[in-house]
Structure 1
Amino acid sequence: MLLKKIEIFKYRLPLKNPLHLGDYKLERREGALIALQTEDGFCGWGEAAPLPGFPGWSPNFLNHNIQKLIGGLTNMPLEKLRLSLESRKDFSPAIFFALHSAVLSLASRTAGVSPHQLLSPVAPSSLSLCALIDGSPEARIRGVAKAASQGYKTIKLKVGRDDLKTDIETIEHVLDKLSPLMKIRLDANQAWSLEETLQFCNAIPTEQIEFLEEPTWDSYQLPMIQEKTGIPCAVDETLQQLSHCLYKDESEGADPQIIKLRAMAEETKVWVWKPSLCYPPHLLGMKGSNPIVLSSAYESGVGTAAILYYAAAFSESRFAAGIDTYSRLAEDVLTDMLPIIDSPTISLRSIDSLRGSVKMNSLKPYPLCVT
Structure 2
Amino acid sequence: MTVTLQQAKPLALTQLGLYQFAIDLDKPLPVGKQRIEQRSGLVLVAQTEERQEWVEISPLCGVDNQGEIITGFSQESLEEVSQQLLTILPQLQQQPIDCLLEHAEQSTQPSLAYGLSLMHAKLMGKLDGHSLTARTVPLIYRQADEPLSLVASRVNALPETTLAVKVKVAQDSLEDELQLIHQILAIRPKLKLRLDANRGFSLEQAIEFAACVPLESIEYIEEPCQNPQDNCTFYQAIEMPWALDESLNHPDYQFEMLPGLRALLIKPTLFGSLEKLQQLIDTAAEHGVRTILSSSLEASLGIEAISRLAQIFTPDETPGIDTLGAFNQDLLVSSGKDHCLKLAALTPLFILK
Determine the structure 1 residue equivalent to 2:139.
Answer: 132
Q: CA deviation at 1:56?
A: 1.8
Tell me whether 1:365 sits opposite 2:343 in the alignment: no
Rg comparison, structure with higher value: 2
Aligned mates of 2:44, 2:184 — CA distance in 1: 42
Tell me whether 1:31 sits opposite 2:41 in the alignment: yes
Aligned partners of 1:129 and 1:152 also within 8 Å:
no
Deviations 1:213-265 (A, max 9, x none): 1122111222332343332211111112x1xxx3xxxxxxxxxxx3xx53557
Aligned partners of 1:132 and 1:324 also within 8 Å:
yes
Which of 199, 217, 225 is matched with 2:208 structurally?
199
Structure 1 residues 60 and 46: CA distance shift in structure 2, 3 A:
same
Aligned mates of 2:96, 2:196 — CA distance in 1: 42
SS for the counterpart of 2:74 is coil
Determine the structure 2 residue equivalent to 1:311.
Answer: 310
Output aligned runs, 1:213-228, within 5 Å.
Answer: 213-228=222-237
Q: CA deviation at 1:209?
A: 1.1
SS for the counterpart of 2:198 is coil
Structure 1 residues 138 and 32: CA distance shift in structure 2, 3 A:
same
Deviations 1:84-105 (A, max 9, x none): 47x7151511112222222222
Aligned partners of 2:25 and 2:39 also within 8 Å:
yes
Gaps of 5+ in 1: 117-124, 247-257, 342-356
Q: Residue 333 of structure 1 aligns to which amino acid in structure 2?
A: L
Tell me whether 1:288 sits opposite 2:284 in the alignment: yes
Structure 1 residues 359 and 150: CA distance shift in structure 2, 3 A:
farther
Q: Residue 97 of structure 1 aligns to which amino acid in structure 2?
A: Y
Determine the structure 2 residue equivalent to 1:210.
Answer: 219
Q: CA deviation at 1:206?
A: 1.3
Determine the structure 2 residue equivalent to 1:145.
Answer: 156
TM-score scaled to structure 2, two decimals? 0.80
Q: Residue 189 of structure 1 aligns to which amino acid in structure 2?
A: N
Deviations 1:151-184 (A, max 9, x none): 322211111111112212221232233242x321
Q: Residue 364 of structure 1 aligns to which amino acid in structure 2?
A: T
Determine the structure 2 residue equivalent to 1:93.
Answer: 110
Determine the structure 1 residue equivalent to 2:75.
Answer: 56
Determine the structure 2 residue equivalent to 1:277.
Answer: 270
Determine the structure 2 residue equivalent to 1:120.
Answer: none
Aligned partners of 1:127 and 1:320 also within 8 Å:
no
Across the aligned residues of Structure 1 and Structure 2, the Cα RMSD in angstroms comes to: 3.1
TM-score scaled to structure 1, two decimals? 0.76
Determine the structure 1 residue equivalent to 2:96.
Answer: 77
Aligned mates of 1:29, 1:316 — CA distance in 2: 28
Which of 110, 119, 129 is matched with 1:114 structurally?
129
Determine the structure 1 residue equivalent to 2:326.
Answer: 328
Aligned partners of 2:284 and 2:291 also within 8 Å:
no
Aligned mates of 2:85, 2:351 — CA distance in 1: 7
Q: CA deviation at 1:31?
A: 0.5
SS for the counterpart of 1:33 is strand
Gaps of 5+ in 2: 1-10, 62-69
Q: State the identity as a percent.
A: 24
Which of 167, 171, 179 is matched with 1:157 structurally?
167
Which of 254, 268, 274 is matched with 1:262 structurally?
254
Structure 1 residues 26 and 175: CA distance shift in structure 2, 3 A:
closer
SS for the counterpart of 2:270 is coil
Aligned partners of 2:28 and 2:35 also within 8 Å:
yes
Structure 1 residues 24 and 173: CA distance shift in structure 2, 3 A:
closer
